[in-house]
Chains A and B, each alone.
Chain A
């Protein structure tokens, strides 16, 4: 249930459920001592957090949100998911989950395009029921996400 009086700062877009949400993940947010059968380190919940509120304000965001890249816009531009790493070095990898996954998370999260200079595929995931993305929502994204590109420790 939404906190009384809370109105999200962004409009939740009605994206197709098969749109993929890509999130750049630091090697600090995966467990290198917990590898799956393919050698992928386990994703941890802190990989899915909003930017710090003061940083969000500095960047002109009214509500702290999580930076992501959206597959449908990448495809429009003929670009690969690796573009999610444009601003990062090799210590970052890419986690992916779908809009369908996002819709199953409670408290609810929204998603919208947020084009940046040189990155029209940039988007935001944000709280629809409360201002910050908290641990429960982080767990929801951690459950759904797959590490499609490993960071290098």
Chain B
């Protein structure tokens, strides 16, 4: 099975009033074509969905108050929480391995995969994504918007899809 759709790199749906998915349009490519392709699925019977984990972590992060880290962190924005829910569902649909999910100091939501064959960090802001990807063996490192780091991002996702 080949997944040809693209994860939105920017929000496409209007802001909603709760941390739930409001529009299927969020799963579609952004009109400017900025996004990243998912690699082919290879199938893994051991893969388990992590949507509920993601929803729990996003809600917990959303509840954190300003300066929760005693280092000036901003509260997670509603838009970031909602976009993160969208991203989580999309990643689950494509059987990407479970990330660690937490709030970031800028009020975004971070999706982090580390400790394996690739390190990937998605910072989900209310309106856009930022990506950092590292090969832990070579130290090769890239960061930027999805379209700016498309190749290393695709390679990372290929290693994370089950």
Binding site for B on A (CB under 8 A): 26, 28-29, 31, 33-34, 42, 44-46, 49-56, 58, 67, 87-88, 134-136, 139, 142-143
Of all chain A residues, which has the CB nearest B64?
A: A28
Chain B residues with CB under 8 Å of A45's CB are 112, 114, 119, 121
In the complex, number of A-B residue pairs with CB atoms less than 8 Å apart: 67
Cβ contact within 8 Å between B115 and A34: yes
State whether the Cβ of B69 lies closer than 8 Å to any Cβ in chain A.
yes
Q: Chain A nearest CB: distance from B59 CB in Å?
A: 13
State whether the Cβ of B136 lies closer than 8 Å to any Cβ in chain A.
yes
A-B contact pairs, 9 of them (CB 8 A): A28-B102, A42-B100, A42-B114, A45-B119, A54-B72, A135-B132, A135-B143, A139-B134, A143-B136
A28 to B136, CA, bound (A): 23
Of all chain A residues, which has the CB nearest B53?
A: A33
Stretch at the interface among B27-35, B88-96, B103-111, B154-162: B103-111
Q: How many residues of B contact A (CB 8 A)?
A: 29
Cβ contact within 8 Å between A46 and B110: yes
| Extra pairs beyond A44-B112, A45-B119, A58-B72 (20, CB < 8 Å) | A28-B61, A28-B69, A28-B102, A28-B103, A44-B102, A44-B114, A46-B102, A46-B104, A49-B71, A49-B105, A52-B106, A55-B72, A67-B71, A87-B70, A134-B143, A135-B121, A135-B141, A136-B143, A139-B119, A139-B141
Of all chain B residues, which has the CB nearest A31?
A: B100
Chain B residues with CB under 8 Å of A31's CB are 100
Q: Chain A nearest CB: distance from B105 CB in Å?
A: 5
